[in-house]
Amino acid sequence: MQDVFSFIEQNREMYIRWLQQICQQPSVAAQNRGMKETANMVEQFITQIGGESKQLETSGYPVVYGEFPGESEKTLSFYNHYDVQPEDPLDLWETPPFGAEIRDGRMYARGVADNKGNLMARLAAVHAYTQVRGKLPTRVKFIVEGEEEIGSVHLEEFVERYHDRIQADGCIWEFGYKNADGRPQVSLGVKGMCYVELVCRGANTDLHSANAAIIENPAWRLLWALNTLKTPDEKIQIKGFYDKVATLSDDDAGMLEQMIYNEESTLEKLGLKSFLLDLSGIPLKEKLIFQPTCTVCGLVSGYTGTGSKTVLPAEARVKLDFRLVPDQDPHEIFSLLRAHLDEHGFSDIEMEGFTLEHPARTPLNNPLTRAVVNTVKDIYGMEPTIMPMSPGTGPMYILCQNLGIPAVSVGVGNFASNNHAPNENVIIEDYIQGIKHMAAIFEEFAKEA
């Protein structure tokens, strides 16, 4: 691979410019800013490096699809997204969010880590490999959606409509990071999600709080309902919630054992003294990876400004995010939650579902995982840490697991990439290493049985 690696080194400035170019193009799906321009730009990149590309229409933003021929019929696919999070709060950025300026070896831009850095590293790897060797060892497909940051709202429709285009022998998933100590993480799945909003209503208008002596307060009612959902020992009290949680296999236990999680640096960065329930070591990692959650993401009722206002609220709302693990089913969890509320006397509390996503996993022992893991050592000079599943969520079930496609996450992000936050960044050397790593994966995956 030294020929390809040398080519990458010789062209590093060009690949850095590619990344700057796409990062300087805003693409905020939530605000419909620059979406068409960015989809066109991705399509052009694919075409310019020798692929066939097309924007596949959905009811939302199009998915940019690309295909490259290979020496074999074996197919490796890439799932990425061209949309980014909104850049606010603007005043916390040290350089403009769409400036893509380089400082101290890092490029700073909204979307550079999530997910344009990974997308461009993968395109650059295709470019370098084909320039040096003429043809890729396997066929390669790019599936670059435009709605990941708004919940992949039309991806299920896309999968149904373009079923054929998605088939592959393995898929490199959109994200990937290095640990605090610089060790690459390889992760083999994502948690599922059941994201709901609960609404409790009282009188038809906010009232003077003197009335609270005799008029029910929906904020208290919602608090009491929530209190039945999870106890301070973090046990979720919904009947049947844990029934389908898979027990850990020996492989899982082994992966947890080798998985490196930098406890001290995480606590220090977050200004915390300890993790939840004082966990550490294996139990901490097991909770992070293999346990479902029930998280209050948002809570609002009554007067929330500064100072005091004596109001009896008319309404209280909570946004709850359940992260699910195999083999929990988000639709079933949604129903169990409804049943729980009803059984506890809260049938008046209304429920709205926003995101229902299945968890997904890829086995440790499969050709793609082996190809990714085996190549890490050559490129990074150390073993990766393998996360059996990411604690995050994505549409991996509908794009991969449901179609029998193994999916592996690895990428150019770092421990302090600040995804979704000000000063999002990628370390330039990580980006160049990421290009080399992808090129090496092409070859290794082609060799794998």
Number of C-beta neighbours around residue 340 at 10 A? 19
Nearer of residues 50 and 151 to a copy of itself, judged by Cβ: 151
Name which of 186, 162, 178 is nearest 417 in CA terms: 178
Nearer of residues 305 and 404 to a copy of itself, judged by Cβ: 305
Q: How far is the CB of 319 from a copy of itself (least distance, A)?
A: 6
Q: Using CA atoms, how far apart are residues 387 and 385, in angstroms rounded to an integer?
A: 6
- 3 state DSSP class of 37: helix
Among 288, 356, 427, 432, binds a copy of itself (CB under 8 A): 288
Tokens 């929330």 belong to residue = 304
Among 139, 141, 154, 191, binds a copy of itself (CB under 8 A): 191
Q: Which stretch binds a copy of itself (CB under 8 A): 69-77, 192-200, 236-244, 333-341?
A: 192-200
Nearer of residues 134 and 307 to a copy of itself, judged by Cβ: 307
Binding residues for a copy of itself restricted to 333-362, rule: CB under 8 A: 354-355
Q: Using CA atoms, how far apart are residues 159 and 168, in angstroms rounded to an integer?
A: 13
Task: Please give the DSSP secondary-structure letter assigned to residue 216.
Answer: -
Bridging pattern class, strands 385-387 and 185-187: parallel
Among 56, 102, 207, 245, binds a copy of itself (CB under 8 A): 207
Binding residues for a copy of itself restricted to 407-446, rule: CB under 8 A: 419-421
Q: How far is the CB of 323 from a copy of itself (least distance, A)?
A: 6
Contact 426, 412 (CB under 8 A): yes
Nearer of residues 232 and 381 to a copy of itself, judged by Cβ: 232
Binding residues for a copy of itself restricted to 373-402, rule: CB under 8 A: 390-393
204 binds a copy of itself (CB under 8 A): yes
Q: How far is the CB of 249 from a copy of itself (least distance, A)?
A: 20
What does the radius of gyration of the chain's CA atoms come to, in whole angstroms? 23
Q: Which stretch binds a copy of itself (CB under 8 A): 54-62, 70-78, 274-282, 425-433?
A: 274-282
Kind plus residue range of the DSSP H or E element containing 367: helix 367-380
Q: How far is the CB of 417 from a copy of itself (least distance, A)?
A: 11
Q: What angle do CA 264, 267, 270 make, to 5 degrees?
A: 145
Contacts of 325 (CB under 8 A, 6+ apart): 191, 192, 245, 246, 290, 291, 292, 359, 389
Q: Which stretch binds a copy of itself (CB under 8 A): 99-107, 127-135, 273-281, 359-367?
A: 273-281
Q: How far is the CB of 275 from a copy of itself (least distance, A)?
A: 5
Among 90, 272, 282, 351, binds a copy of itself (CB under 8 A): 272
253 binds a copy of itself (CB under 8 A): no
Among 248, 284, 339, 403, binds a copy of itself (CB under 8 A): 284
| Alpha helix segments (H runs only) across 307-360 | 330-343
Bridging pattern class, strands 385-387 and 207-208: unpaired
Among 293, 369, 414, 425, binds a copy of itself (CB under 8 A): 293
Name which of 135, 142, 124 is nearest 69 in CA terms: 135
Q: Using CA atoms, how far apart are residues 143 and 442, in angstroms rounded to an integer?
A: 17
Binding mask 209-248 for a copy of itself (x = CB under 8 A): xxxxxxxxx-xx--xx-xx--x-x----------------
Q: Using CA atoms, how far apart are residues 159 and 164, in angstroms rounded to an integer?
A: 9
**Residue 160: burial class (beta carbons within 10 Å; 0-12, 13-18, 19+):** exposed
Binding residues for a copy of itself restricted to 295-334, rule: CB under 8 A: 295-305, 307-313, 316-317, 319, 321, 323
208 binds a copy of itself (CB under 8 A): yes
Nearer of residues 316 and 439 to a copy of itself, judged by Cβ: 316
